[in-house]
Amino acid sequence: SETHGISFRIQISVKELLDKDILLKLLFHLPVSYPSTLPDISVNSDQLTRAQCMDVKEKLLEQAKKHLSEPMVHDLILWVQQHLKGVIKQSATVCNEKTTLSEGTEDGIWMLLLHLDHMRAKAKYVKTVEKWASNLRLTGRLMFMGKIILILLQGDRSSIKEYLILQKTSKVDVDSSGKKCKEKMMKVLCETEVQSQHKRFQTFEVKEYSALEELQKEFETAGLITLFSEFVPPLLK
Rounded Cα–Cα distance for residues 163 and 159 (Å): 6
Long-range contacts of 41-48 (CB under 8 A, 24+ apart): 41/76, 41/226, 42/226, 42/230, 47/16, 47/20, 47/22, 47/23, 48/22, 48/24, 48/88
The b/e string for 199-231 (b: 16+ C-beta within 10 A; e otherwise) is eebeebeeeebeebeebbebbeebbbbbbbbbb
Q: Where in the chain is the domain with CATH 3.10.110.10?
A: 6-92
Percent of the chain with pLDDT over 90: 32
What is the C-alpha separation between 141 and 54, in angstroms, rounded?
A: 25
**Residue-level pLDDT at 96:** 42
**pLDDT above 80 (res 100):** no
When pLDDT is averaged across residues 126-148 and rounded to a whole number, the result is 93
The architecture CATH gives domain 6-92: Roll (3.10)
Instruction: Over range 166-182, report the average pLDDT.
Output: 85
Q: How confident is the model at residue 178 (pLDDT cuts 50, 70, 90)?
A: confident
So what's the pLDDT on residue 152? Answer: 96
CB 112 within 8 A of CB 190: yes
Distance, CA of 54 to CA of 57 (rounded, Å): 5
Task: Name the average pLDDT for the chain.
Answer: 84
Architecture, CATH, for domain 109-235: 2-Layer Sandwich (3.30)
pLDDT band with cut points at 50, 70 and 90 for residue 186: confident
For 3, counting Cβ atoms within 10 Å of its Cβ (0-12 exposed, 13-18 middle, 19+ buried), the class is: exposed
Query: Could you give the residue range(s) of every CATH 3.30.70.100 domain in the chain?
Result: 109-235
- Give the per-residue pLDDT at 128: 93
Rounded to the nearest 10 degrees, the angle between the axes of helix 122-135 and helix 157-169 is: 150
Regarding beta strands 109-116 and 148-156, do their DSSP bridges make them parallel or antiparallel, or are they unpaired?
A: antiparallel
* Residue 90 pLDDT class (50, 70, 90 cuts): low
Which residues is 184 bridged to in the sheet?
Answer: none
- Residue 17: pLDDT band with limits 50, 70, 90: low
pLDDT band at 139 (very low <50, low <70, confident <90, very high): very high
pTM of the complete model: 0.56
CB 137 within 8 A of CB 154: no
pLDDT band at 115 (very low <50, low <70, confident <90, very high): very high
